[in-house]
Amino acid sequence: MNTFLVIVNIAILLAIIIGLYIMQKKHVTFSKRVFAGLGLGILFGIIIHLIYGTSSEVTDTTIQWFNIVGSGYVSLLQMIVMPLVFISIVAAFTKVTVSKNLGKISFYGIGILLVTTGIAAAIGIGAALGFGLEGVQLQAGDAENARIESLTERVATVEGMTIPQQILSFIPTNPFADLAGSRSTSTIAVVIFASFIGIAYLGVRRKQPEQAELFAKIVESFYAIVMRIVTLILRLTPYGVLALMTKVAATSDYAAIMNLGKFVIASYVALIAMFLVHLLMISVAKLSPVTFVKKALPALTFAFTSRSSAGTLPLNIKTQTDGFGVSPGVANFVGPFSLTIGQNGCAGIYPAMLAVMVAPTVGINPLDPGFIISLILVVIIGSFGVAGVGGGATFASLIVLSVLNLPVAIVGLLISVEPLIDMGRTALNVSGSMTSGVLTGKITGEFDEKVYNEKGGLDDVVEA
């Protein structure tokens, strides 16, 4: 009987996929198909949850089959992430106009990411204090205790490293191993390696222009191929979002979410507040925040459902270049760097909230200005090297809490609501990345405001 029910669920998913494909054939825009997948996924997931429960055999088996579509799509994006990070950084150096502005682009791109992370930390602190969140209010169950035990090794690793040692871990000793993602800091190591290649190219261009020109053409060809692969994968976004959202809605522990509802609400208030800060910064740059939201929504939607900033990188860069009019050089520089530096949600808001919640348990007044300033600075520094995949917030929190000598067990106490909050955090990470790209492009003159204001953009590119 269970097998029959699983087959029925799979048939329904396939029917919805066919429906989304028909929408594509009828030239319904990419954005609308993504939101259709999102809405139908939530509805289908809730129905599965209500009929079969969260952890029944039917639900578990059904989700395993659905993962072929959802997790398979994320895997395809992750497949292209390291090649895209590498070639994007190198390509940023081979662009003549970008080379002239490289110092400014580096300064403003990274600077905006770090500044917004500091603002996010301040908002996280305010949310925790405003909602009166306290770590002593959290109770550990079996799942929480298991999570705390699993964090023991990571805590030992983090506590055993000073900040200088953590910085040293970013330096690539084996670029090929890092291209394979063998370390938690592999992404930033690849960024550093690609930057060295780019700097070497600039030196060769001055002394051996013919060789440099050949290298630039090779890079341009490689970049074109990688971006074409990205476009092909992005066409699967509505189906991936459908399966991912169905899984989230079907397997979420709604009772646990209700028990920790105050923390969930406070987290999303902080996330929304920081997103409004992004829109305010866009407005200050004399650009329409409404246009920003409309064109960013497909990328933000995927980030929300996938919980992977790295997986969203291809969509992030495409949105910046083809939707917002940011030059490829700026987008290719800021996008990859934002995976490891200045993640507003995972490395900014979340660690700051946890630190405020546990500070009273060790006799620290969370309202102490010295503590608040120290916390914000540690959050900014700790944001370096945070992996842009699910679990990055956990690592960032361990770093911040360990440096401040605060209890780290609270990280394990929130396991039941971690996926729900991580969805919002990841979307905010990507929003911060795109905000930095747009503002950096505008400041350095690497920005086409006509493209920003016109309709189409990403929809047209994905369909091309």
Q: What is the pLDDT of residues 403-458, one digit of tens each?
A: 888 887 777 667 667 778 888 999 999 999 999 999 999 999 889 999 999 876 55
Give CB contacts under 8 A, 24+ apart, made by 134-138. Answer: 134/357, 134/360, 135/354, 135/357, 135/358, 135/360, 135/361, 135/407, 135/410, 135/413, 136/360, 136/361, 138/260, 138/410, 138/413, 138/414
Q: What is the mean pLDDT of the chain?
A: 84
- Examine the pLDDT at 144 and tell me if it is beyond 50: no
Of 362, 309, 354, nearest to 336 by C-alpha is 309
- Whole-angstrom distance, CA of residue 110 vs CA of residue 437: 10
pLDDT of the residue at 141: 47
| pLDDT for 244 beyond 70 | yes
Three-state DSSP state, 27: coil
Do residues 405 and 361 lie in contact, with contact meaning Cβ atoms separated by under 8 Å?
no
Give the residue, 407 or 289, on which the prediction is more confident.
289
| Alpha-carbon span 31 to 45, nearest angstrom | 21
> Which position has the higher pLDDT, 124 or 383?
124
pLDDT at 386: 65
Amino acid making up residue 195: S
Share of residues in the chain with pLDDT > 70 (%): 86
Q: How far is CA 253 from the centre of its chain?
A: 23
Lowest mean pLDDT segment, chosen from 158-172, 207-221, 283-297, 359-373: 158-172
- Give the C-alpha separation, 395 to 358, whole Å: 17
Q: Among 92, 269, 337, 61, which residue's Cα sits nearest to residue 198?
A: 92
Residues written for the chain: 464
pLDDT of residue 375: 93
Residue 25 has pLDDT above 70, yes or no: yes
Look at residue 326 and give its three-state secondary structure.
strand
